[in-house]
Structure 1
Amino acid sequence: MKSADRQRVIVEHLQDAGRVAVTDLVAATGASDMTVRRDLDYLAAQGVLKRVHGGAVSAMPSGLEPPFAARATAATAAKQAIAKLAAEQIRDGETVVLDSGTTALEVARLLRDRTVTVMPLSLHVAQELMGAPGIRLLMPGGEPRPGELAMVGPLTLASLRSLRFDVAVLSPCAFSLEAGMTAFDLGDAEVKQQALAVSTRSMVLVDGAKWDRAALAYICPADRPDLIITDSSAPEDDRAVLAQRGVLIQIADGRPAPQPDVQTESVS
């Protein structure tokens, strides 16, 4: 069993019981005691779990992902305002990898009348862009997750690795300074990581309700994105810290976050 598959088994056991024992994981994965302990150490470093004697306990407040339909009707005004700012950052003619989250779906609706190349990472987003006259739609391979319809798996990853994009537009499940960007599903997190790796610049859309939260699967540090678009309910102190680290913050109600006073050299 590959490491990603073993780690998925560990996370599933944590979701079910909140606590895992090394002996049980050895039986579940067929891996050695030492290999399981390495997997636990890796997941602990990502903030997914905490090591305890003989095993681990979940470090996350919840491992349950709210249904897509429920998320699509939550914080809609904030998501639409964030999506509007995001769409304004995309230039005609650019190539875009567009995430599977509900805020990314709002971006897709604003791109229908634009002239851009888009690889959607979910069937929800693909359906929204289907038939738009100026959209060149590139479909990834992979398996759609039930309900979410987000594309995951080795075929999705292979599709991303074979291309290069101007911009990745991501909308993670949760976001915090300590845990970084996180997702509920390990496969979804892996796809987001690959989208970041193949894009020249990255744009993360995260409404205030997602701040100071963490899900099970680590994506990247909080200061990895080039641009974070949020709303005014996001914690001001956290926004200031990220700005000091060089991350550009845009607020959907038009109020910019504090920016560092020091001069930084631009990279072209």
Structure 2
Amino acid sequence: MDSETRKKYILQQLDAHEKVSLTTLAKKFNVSEMTIRRDFNVLETRGMLVRKYGGAIKTEAIENLFSFNKRMETNAAQKKSICEAALAHIEDGDIIFIDCGTTLFRLAALVKNKRIRVITNSLPVISELMYSPTIKLTIIGGDIDADRQASYGAVTERVIKEFAADKAFVGADGISLSRGLSSFDEKEAMVTKTMMEQSREVYLLCDSSKIERDSYFRLAPITAVDYLITDAFNDTALAKSYQDTGLKIITGQP
């Protein structure tokens, strides 16, 4: 089992049991305890666990990473205002990508009556839109991440490259002037990046808690985004610095 698969299993176990044993993991994967310690080190650097004697314990970040339903309730009012602002930029006849994630799922509920084509890798978005009489829905296949409820991988990226969309509505785990867009998950990030590359306009939907926040995997520069739609941007000097890159900032009304 490769390192990334091991680390994903460790996070799943932490989410379920709140702590994991170094010895138990080494035996399960038939690797040395030193190998598991290295996995712990990487995950601790990402903020996903805290190392303790003989194992590790979960951090709050895992709650946000693995539970779609729990994440739906995080910053719910902000996500609602963001998606309502995004809706104003979707016109009948548009071909759009909708990325995975809880904010983008809220957007799907708002576009049900639009006459548009939606291309998505998100299982919740598919479920939300599949019976809409006005939506033309295209499902992007690939490997399935049950926790993120989305497809990913080489097949997913290759299929996305066959499309040319008017707009991509995407998410990220962080955006900053120094690193641009970043993500907790490199596989998910590559899908998002490919959607952005295949679109005429890119809309990043993220709440204000993610502004000037970095995750470990760099996804794209700020210049790859046309519009940032967020719930608030109260630091006017910082907002000006973002706008100086060419980014247009839209704030929703809570």
In the superposition, relative to structure 1, how do residues 188 and 11 fare at CA in structure 2: closer, same or farther (>3 Å)?
same
**Equivalence map 1:173-184=2 (5 Å):** 173-184=173-184
- RMSD of aligned C-alpha atoms? 2.8
Range that drifts further, 217-226 or 158-167: 217-226
**Equivalence map 1:131-210=2 (5 Å):** 131-210=131-210
Is the contact between residue 207 and residue 234 of structure 1 (CA under 8 Å) also seen in structure 2?
Answer: no
Higher percent of residues as helix: 2
In the superposition, relative to structure 1, how do residues 144 and 235 fare at CA in structure 2: closer, same or farther (>3 Å)?
farther
In the superposition, relative to structure 1, how do residues 250 and 154 fare at CA in structure 2: closer, same or farther (>3 Å)?
same
Query: d(CA) in 1 for partners of 2:178 and 2:7?
Result: 20
Q: CA deviation at 1:236?
A: 3.5
Structure 2 counterpart of 1:188, one-letter code: E
Is the contact between residue 230 and residue 252 of structure 1 (CA under 8 Å) also seen in structure 2?
Answer: yes
SS at match of 1:213: coil
Is the contact between residue 60 and residue 214 of structure 1 (CA under 8 Å) also seen in structure 2?
Answer: no
Runs of 4+ aligned residues of structure 1 deviating over 3 Å after TM superposition are: 8-13, 55-65, 233-237
In the superposition, relative to structure 1, how do residues 138 and 206 fare at CA in structure 2: closer, same or farther (>3 Å)?
same
Structure 2 counterpart of 1:218, one-letter code: R
Q: CA deviation at 1:168?
A: 0.6
Unaligned residue ranges in structure 1 (runs of 5+): 17-54, 255-268
Query: d(CA) in 2 for partners of 1:212 and 1:134?
Result: 38
Could you say which residue in structure 2 is the equivalent of 1:213? Answer: 213
Which TM-score applies when normalising by structure 1? 0.71
SS at match of 1:223: helix
**Equivalence map 1:37-186=2 (5 Å):** 60-62=46-48, 64-65=61-62, 66=64, 67-186=67-186
Q: State the Cα deviation string for residues 110-131 of structure 1 (Å, max 9, x = none).
A: 1001100001221011101111
Is the contact between residue 229 and residue 249 of structure 1 (CA under 8 Å) also seen in structure 2?
Answer: yes
Q: State the Cα deviation string for residues 38-72 of structure 1 (Å, max 9, x = none).
A: xxxxxxxxxxxxxxxxx989764447542222210
Is the contact between residue 122 and residue 144 of structure 1 (CA under 8 Å) also seen in structure 2?
Answer: no
Q: State the Cα deviation string for residues 148-194 of structure 1 (Å, max 9, x = none).
A: 11210111111101111111100112222223211111110010110
Range that drifts further, 91-100 or 58-67: 58-67
Q: CA deviation at 1:222?
A: 2.7
Q: CA deviation at 1:223?
A: 3.4
* Corresponding position: 1:225 with 2:225: yes
Query: d(CA) in 2 for partners of 1:169 and 1:93?
Result: 16
SS at match of 1:246: coil
Paired residues in the alignment total 213
In the superposition, relative to structure 1, how do residues 241 and 58 fare at CA in structure 2: closer, same or farther (>3 Å)?
farther
Query: d(CA) in 1 for partners of 2:114 and 2:144?
Result: 26
Is the contact between residue 144 and residue 150 of structure 1 (CA under 8 Å) also seen in structure 2?
Answer: yes
In the superposition, relative to structure 1, how do residues 56 and 124 fare at CA in structure 2: closer, same or farther (>3 Å)?
closer
Is the contact between residue 83 and residue 104 of structure 1 (CA under 8 Å) also seen in structure 2?
Answer: yes
Is the contact between residue 222 and residue 247 of structure 2 (CA under 8 Å) also seen in structure 1?
Answer: no
Structure 1 counterpart of 2:169, one-letter code: V
Which TM-score applies when normalising by structure 2? 0.75
Identity score, percent = 25
In the superposition, relative to structure 1, how do residues 160 and 82 fare at CA in structure 2: closer, same or farther (>3 Å)?
same
Is the contact between residue 233 and residue 251 of structure 2 (CA under 8 Å) also seen in structure 1?
Answer: no
Unaligned residue ranges in structure 2 (runs of 5+): 15-40, 50-60
